[in-house]
Amino acid sequence: MKQAVTIKGNIHKGCKGITVILDPEISFSDLCSHVMEKFRELSGFLKNDQMVVAFEGRKLTMEQEQTLLDIITENSDIGVLYLMESDPEKDLVYAQKLDAALNQQMVKPDENMFYKGTLRSGQVVESESSVVIIGDVNPGGKIVSGGNIIILGSLKGIACAGIAGNRQAFVVALEMKPTQIRIDNIVAKCGDVPQVKHRLKRKKVVESVPKIAVLRDENIFIENLDRETLASLDLC
C-alpha cells in the first residue's frame, strides 16, 4: 500500500535536511493528518536538529507549505532552517537566507538579555542569565536560558529555563502555547503541562491571561500570572 507521506534524509549545503514526499491524490486535510502522524512517530529520532526541508510529490501553495511546516515543528523537536525549493532561482534566494540564519542563529550574551522581534522557526537565543523576549516565539523557535524566560508576546516554540540547575527558574508569556518547556532537567511537551485553574470572583470571560510555568514536585505547572503566584515564587 502506498504511503501518504514518506521522509528521506539528505544533506544540503553542509546542513542536515529531509525531503518529505507527499501523496498527490489525497485531500490536503487528510495529508496534514498523515504528516502529523509521521512526525510524531519519528520524534524520538529527530531530536533538537536544525534542518533544511523540501516537499516533493505535489504542488503546494505558500499557505499550504507554511501549514505543513507548522505541523512539523509542533509535532517534533526539529527546527526548520529554511524550505528548499525545486526552482533553482528560488532555492538560491533561500540559500542566501540560510547563510544569514546560520550566522545569526546563536546569541550568547554574558548579561541578562533583551531580544526585540519575532523568534522564527530555526532561530535560537541562548544566554547564561535570564532572557526577555519583546515579541513572539513561533513554532520552531527556541530560547535557552540559565535563568528565567519572560516573553512579552506568544510562546509557541521551545523554552528551556534554568538549564544550569536553577530549579526556581520560571517561564512567563502573555500567551502560553509552547511546543515544549524545560526547567532545569524536567521537560514537558505541549499537552503534557497541567493548567492550574483559578476561580474567578466574577463571572467574566477572560480571553487572554498572562501565564507562568514553574517547577514543583518534579512536574512543570502552568498558572495564571497574578499577585498570589508571584508571592509564592522564590526570586532570590
Q: What is the pLDDT of residues 66-93, one digit of tens each?
A: 889 888 888 887 776 566 655 555 455 5
The pLDDT, as a whole number, for residue 211 is 92
Q: What is the pLDDT of residues 140-167, one digit of tens each?
A: 899 999 999 999 999 999 999 999 889 9
Task: Give me the percent of the chain exceeding a pLDDT of 70.
Answer: 69
Question: If pLDDT is split at 50, 70 and 90, which confidence band does 171 have?
Answer: very high
Q: What HEC string does 51-86 produce?
A: EEEEEECCCCCHHHHHHHHHHHHHCCCCEEEEEECC
CA quadruple 73, 165, 193, 159: dihedral, nearest 10? -30
Global pTM reads 0.51
**What is the β-pairing status of strands 50-56 and 79-84?**
parallel
Supply 207's cell numbers.
480571553
SS3 category, 15:
strand
Tell me how far apart the alpha carbons of residues 23 and 1 are, in angstroms, rounded to a whole number: 12
Q: Calculate mean pLDDT across residues 187-202.
A: 55
Q: What is the pLDDT of residues 55-67, one digit of tens each?
A: 888 988 888 888 8
Supply 142's cell numbers.
527556541
